[in-house]
Amino acid sequence: MNTTLEAPRLTAHDRCDRCGAQAYVKVVLTAGGELMFCAHHARAHASALEPIADQVIDETDRLHAKPELVED
């Protein structure tokens, strides 16, 4: 198991809690727990999530990036 150097990365295995699409935003709640959202639902729920989110990991930039090489 590789360790990540910085914030946890979202992967293709992470799915939006609302629609099941690939998640690009992870919300860590101040009350505990995590939510995953696709870019669409992250925007849709942003105002509701902001007051209860401890940390938001937004990787929606990757939607516009070239696919990354996967290292084994």
Question: Which of 8, 11, 19, 50 forms a contact with Zn ion (CB under 5 A)?
Answer: 19
Question: Which of 15, 18, 45, 62 forms a contact with Zn ion (CB under 5 A)?
Answer: 18
Window 32 to 51, contacts with Zn ion (CB under 5 A):
38, 41
Q: Report yes or no: 16 and 38 within 8 Å, Cβ to Cβ.
A: yes
Q: What is the DSSP letter of 17?
A: T
Of 3-11, 19-27, 54-62, 64-72, which part binds Zn ion (CB under 5 A)? 19-27
Rounded CA gap, 62 and 67, in Å? 8
16 vs 35, beta carbon nearer Zn ion: 16
Residue 60 phi, psi dihedral angles, 5° rounding: -65, -20
